[in-house]
Every structure is written in structure tokens, then in C-alpha cells.
């Protein structure tokens, strides 16, 4: 492994490596000399040297009108790592102390509506996996769908074994279809709002979330998932009322 690779893994960037190696070769000297050897302007070299001092890799002495910088022995790289290790242990302990307060803030944030945007097959797949994961943790293991024939094929293409996985997890679904097609697979019920034209949006109501899926001009899936209990409850109320009328 090269010296540059090791120093990068240590945390130095390319210019910092140049300055550090230049000072190792020089041994000791003013900013001007380090800048000349490293081929980096003085202002940048000065800033880098100060950082290397903080890292314990460089020291300095004031001589007359100039400050001379000196590279510490390379073994100080190991010393610096030990200091970092100790700092990480201290930081871990500090985080543990404030974790209850951070968790309290995080839990309070759940009361605020959240919206997540997605696009493409990968984004849609992640939404569908979220449906399975979240609904499988609910008490009734059930979700609701406004299925559109205009988008149904896209959904199935992204997750072809969707219904098999849903049934395996014992998740039930009620579906209101908009447009032709649609069939039962197990643990599901289906009614039709229309058997003619499909809607431009495919909607999934699940575990306190509302997912709205549509297609862009390139026929790629795009959409948004709204995570809000009140929005979810309202949409489910409307869905159930419509279900009873069909």
C-alpha cells in the first residue's frame, strides 16, 4: 500500500499530504520553503500546517521574524490514532448521555406530517417494500388501494412476486379498481369504481401512510409518500364509505 493511500486513510487530503511529505523531507523550515517544495501557495500551506499541528504531526518554533515548522517523527501518526480512539470513546459516552433527549425530540417529530418523494423503479420498489414491512407490524395486517389500470402493470413489473410475498406475510388488502382488469390472488377483496378508463394515480393507504404513484412523461414511476396519521385516517374513512356504496 502506498504512503499516499495510507495518509488518505488517516484522513489527510491531497494537499495536506503534499505539505506533510514536503516538511518531512525538509525537516524544518518557514512557510516559504514548505510552499516551494510542495508547490502550493503560502496561504494554503500556512492553513494546512496549522491543521497538522492540531493533528500532532507538526510543531513550530519562533526564530527572529519567522516561524519555523518541524515535522514530528512519523510515529506520531500512531499517537494521533490513539488520541482519536480515546476521543471516540469519550464521544460515544457523551452520545449515550444525551440519547434519551435526542430520542424524545425524534419521537415528537413523528407528530408532524412527513413527505418523501421517489422516482424510478428503484424508488417505487422501496415504497412497496415499505408497505409490506410496515403493514406486517400492524395489528390487523391490512391496507387499502385505489388501483388504476393505467399504472397497475408498472407496479407489477417492479415487484412481480408482490402478491406471493403479501400472502406469505398474511397481509390482507381491499382494492377499489379504476379501469379494466384486476383479479383476486388471496387475502384480498376487490370492487370496481369503473371498468373503463384508468385513473392517472395509483394510491396505497397503509400503516398511517398515503402513497401516491403516477407516471412522468417518460412513463417512469414517480410519487410521494405522506406519513401522517390524520391524513391516513381521513383517506381510509373515505375509502370505506365508497367501498360500502359499490
pLDDT, one tens digit per residue, over 66-120 is 788 888 888 888 888 888 888 888 898 989 998 888 877 766 665 677 899 999 9
Domain count, the chain: 2
pLDDT greater than 90 at residue 166: yes
Domain extent, residue 155, equals: 114-245
- Please state, for a pLDDT cut of 70, what percent of the chain lies above it: 98
Closest CA to 124 of 162, 87, 98, 91: 162
Distance CA 211, CA 25 (A): 61
Choice among 34-38, 188-192, 222-226 with the minimum mean pLDDT: 34-38
What is the reported pTM? 0.58
103 found inside a domain: no
- Structural domain includes residue 46: yes
pLDDT of residue 110: 59
In a domain, 199, yes or no: yes
Where on the phi/psi map is residue 161: left (φ > 0), alpha (ψ -120 to 50), or beta? Answer: alpha
Amino acid at each position: 500500500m502506498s504512503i499516499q493511500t495510507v495518509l488518505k486513510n488517516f484522513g489527510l487530503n491531497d494537499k495536506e499530504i503534499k505539505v506533510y511529505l514536503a516538511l518531512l523531507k525538509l525537516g524544518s523550515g518557514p512557510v516559504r520553503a514548505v510552499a516551494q517544495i510542495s508547490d502550493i501557495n503560502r496561504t494554503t500551506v500556512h492553513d494546512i500546517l496549522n491543521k497538522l499541528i492540531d493533528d500532532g504531526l507538526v510543531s513550530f518554533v519562533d526564530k527572529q521574524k519567522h516561524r519555523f515548522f518541524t515535522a514530528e517523527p512519523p510515529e506520531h501518526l500512531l499517537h494521533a490514532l490513539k488520541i482519536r480512539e480515546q476521543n471516540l470513546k469519550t464521544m460515544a459516552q457523551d452520545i449515550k448521555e444525551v440519547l434519551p433527549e435526542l430520542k424524545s425530540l425524534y419521537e415528537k417529530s413523528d407528530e408532524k406530517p412527513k413527505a418523501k418523494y421517489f422516482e424510478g423503479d428503484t424508488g417505487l420498489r422501496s415504497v412497496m417494500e415499505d408497505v409490506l414491512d410496515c403493514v406486517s407490524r400492524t395489528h390487523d395486517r391490512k391496507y387499502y388501494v385505489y388501483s388504476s389500470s393505467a399504472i397497475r402493470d408498472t407496479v407489477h413489473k417492479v415487484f412481480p412476486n408482490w402478491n406471493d410475498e403479501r400472502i406469505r406475510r398474511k397481509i390482507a388488502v381491499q382494492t377499489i379498481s379504476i379501469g379494466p382488469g384486476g383479479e383476486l390472488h388471496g387475502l384480498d377483496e376487490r370492487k370496481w369504481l369503473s371498468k373503463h378508463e384508468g385513473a392517472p394515480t395509483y394510491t396505497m393507504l397503509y400503516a398511517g401512510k398515503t402513497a401516491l404513484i403516477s407516471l412522468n412523461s417518460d412513463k417512469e414511476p414517480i410519487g410521494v409518500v405522506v406519513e401522517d396519521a390524520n391524513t391516513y385516517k381521513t383517506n381510509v374513512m373515505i375509502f370505506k364509505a365508497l367501498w360500502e356504496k359499490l
